[in-house]
Amino acid sequence: MKKTDRLLIPASEHHTEIVVVNSRFITTITPVFSVEEAREFIAKIRAVHPNAAHNVPAFIVGHGVSIIEHCSDDGEPQGTAGRPTLAVLKGSGLGDAAVVVTRYFGGTKLGTGGLVRAYTDAVKSVLVGLPLAEKIQTHTVRLVMPYPLFERIRILIAEHGGQILNENFAGDVTLTLQFAAKNLPGFQGALREASKGALQAEITETNPAAIFPVVGVL
């Protein structure tokens, strides 16, 4: 993943599984916004897999230089599991993320190098196709329009990265929309042009750190 100034996080919990010399490695990743949330997630995964040989955790809370990070080998030889897991997570550019690699032992020891490669590959696997979100300032807006403009404006909403939160069809169409704050001025301009100056969206709420889905995956 390319480095970016965007504050990217997992959009939701996601998991994958790989098999290495008969050992199963199930990797689960989720967004977390505090150390407490990260520890609760780790405890949940351990409860889901109580018979696993190891549940290796790593997490990063925050972004950039302002982060709290943690990892554990959970009984694997020192340095063969937790550190590789955290290294891949840090290299992804994600923040506010926790991951647990669950290992079901397959009867064959992998050795130090084999374990490092297995845990590295397990975390890389969960990042492939991972849906993303970002923490950004958003505006929620209300827009009332006549029916003939509805389809055209719905296209404009999509073109400017907006989300339709609610639709109400009465005498007019009333929409509740959410935009990244940086995209709203462009939408307002396009809206004025499409309506010949008759329409403008009204800001009803501003969230300085909303979780907003983004197009694209790791």
- For the domain covering 136-217, report its CATH number: 3.30.70.240
Reference 157, options 139, 169, 135, 170; nearest CA is 139
pLDDT at 213: 79
Reference 207, options 184, 174, 175, 173; nearest CA is 184
pLDDT at 208: 87
* Cβ atoms 99, 27 nearer than 8 A: yes
pLDDT at 90: 95
194: which 2 tokens? 């499409």
List pLDDT tens digits, range 30-40: 999 999 999 99
For the chain, the average pLDDT equals 93
Question: Among the CATH numbers 3.40.50.11610, 2.60.40.1930, 3.30.230.30, 3.40.640.10, which is that of 8-128?
Answer: 3.30.230.30
Same fold, 8-128 and 136-217: no
Interaxial angle between packed helices 82-91 and 111-127, expressed in degrees from 0 to 180 and rounded to the nearest 10: 30
Contacts 24+ apart (CB under 8 A), 182-188: 182/136, 182/137, 184/139, 184/141, 184/160, 186/160, 187/156, 187/157, 187/160, 187/162
Measured distance CA(48)–CA(64) in Å, rounded: 31
pLDDT at 1: 42
Measured distance CA(28)–CA(123) in Å, rounded: 9
Where residue 2 falls among pLDDT bands split at 50, 70, 90?
very low
Where residue 3 falls among pLDDT bands split at 50, 70, 90?
very low
List pLDDT tens digits, range 154-203: 999 999 999 999 999 999 999 999 999 999 999 999 999 999 999 999 99
Where residue 66 falls among pLDDT bands split at 50, 70, 90?
confident
Q: What residue type is 144 in one-letter code? A: V
Q: Domain extents for the chain?
A: 8-128, 136-217
- Give CA angle at 95 (78, 74), nearest 5°: 20
Share of the chain above pLDDT 90, in %: 88
List pLDDT tens digits, range 79-119: 999 999 999 999 999 999 999 999 999 999 999 999 999 99
